[in-house]
Amino acid sequence: MVDMKHLEHDGATLGRIHARSNNRKALGYWLGFLKGVLASTKVETTEYDPLRVEAENFLNLLHDPDARELIEDIRIWKDEPNEIYEIVENIVAVRSRDFVIESEKDEINELYGFCAGIACDNRITPEEVERLLLRLDSYPRIQNDQRVRNLRTAAQRSIADGRITPEESDDICNWITRLVGDSATDTGIATFGNVGVLEGALEDHNDIIFDRRMFVLTGKFTLGPRKAIQGMISDRGGEFKSSVCRNTNYLCVAAEASRDWRHSHEGLKIMRAMELRDEGRGPQLVHEGTLAQAFFR
């Protein structure tokens, strides 16, 4: 059994645990993204740039040899999309043997990657919608998220007549953006680490009350270490916990999209907050910038 008190004083050991966890998040998302690209049963040339951007990101994060080779293959086989499809298919087949879904976090990481993959060229095909619906139906826990419910509704509506109009495609891409952020086609930035849309977040820092209120923090804050921010909350009469529950008043989300949190802890905490909000008793969502203004008002 792990001695957490010992880990608190053993930075190297704790760092290795975090590194393994972060690598698993990244690998799950990376495989999900590649599966999303394959979902249409072909690779479009418009998917080359997003593929390259994501591969470069995961090469930096994981020092992944497959990502390095894919970058080179896209350059060499740029006029042969069928060849690129087979290369991506082979990466997924091989790496999936090493990555077995073990937890709810793994499911969410891979599902978010899959959503980003099918939307990476800002165009959704009927084949992609069918595979998206199968995946959403396979992960009942994530369906409690209103964004996911809206995505599912949009997907079901679009496929009803067997074809996807440009308007329906845009609608699905919009709901995916709310989960995983803008695609690489829009921003040139890898989607792993992007921040989805937080519906209903507080905009006025004067609405934040510290005295006897419960705060939960998620993410890597630019304001400083989490302990320092917790101290600032305590100095103002507030309290803090590590997980969202019924007596949580505020869930504060970091401004920095960090690989330390984006696709598991963040996803689960926000989903839990939204579930409680749907029941009429959930915490307020607060962006880091709004929290900072409340600290220094």
What pTM does this model have? 0.66
Residue 223 in domain = yes
Is residue 9 packed enough to be buried (19+ CB in 10 Å), middle (13-18) or exposed (0-12)?
exposed
Q: What is the pLDDT of residues 139-185, one digit of tens each?
A: 777 777 777 888 999 999 999 988 899 999 999 988 888 778 766 66
In the chain, what percentage of residues exceed pLDDT 90? Answer: 37
Note the pLDDT of residue 184.
Answer: 64
Residue 200 belongs to a domain: no
State the Cα–Cα distance between residues 221 and 266, nearest whole angstrom.
13
d(CA 77, CA 60): 22
**What is the sign of the dihedral through the CA atoms of 243, 245, 248 and 250?**
positive
Could you tell me how far CA 32 lies from the centroid of its own chain?
Answer: 11
In a domain, 192, yes or no: no
Q: How is residue 264 written in tokens? A: 């598991």
Helix (H, G, I), strand (E, B) or coil at 95: helix
Is 14 a residue whose pLDDT tops 50?
Answer: no
Question: How many structural domains does the chain have?
Answer: 2
Please give the pLDDT value at position 19. Answer: 62
Looking up tokens 């007549």 gives 161
Q: What is the pLDDT of residue 186?
A: 61
pLDDT in tens, 32-85: 999 999 999 999 888 999 899 889 988 888 888 899 999 999 999 989 999 999
Let me know whether 156 and 214 are in one domain. no
Clarify whether residues 45 and 101 are in a common domain: yes
Residues 6+ apart with CB under 8 A from 22: 61, 259, 260
In a shared domain, residues 80 and 215: no
Asked if the structure places residue 199 within a domain, the reply is no
Per residue in 75-118, pLDDT tens? 999 899 999 999 999 999 998 988 888 887 888 888 889 999 99
Query: How much is the mean pLDDT over the chain?
Result: 82
CB neighbours of residue 62 within 10 Å: 16
- What confidence tens digit (pLDDT) does each residue in 186-226 have? 656 666 766 555 667 888 999 999 999 999 988 777 788 88
Domain containing 64 equals 4-187
In the block, residue with structure tokens 């695609």: 183
- Strands (E) in the chain, as ranges, are 214-218, 239-241, 250-253, 284-287
Residue 284 parent element (H or E): strand 284-287
Q: Based on C-alpha coordinates, what's the Rg of the chain?
A: 20
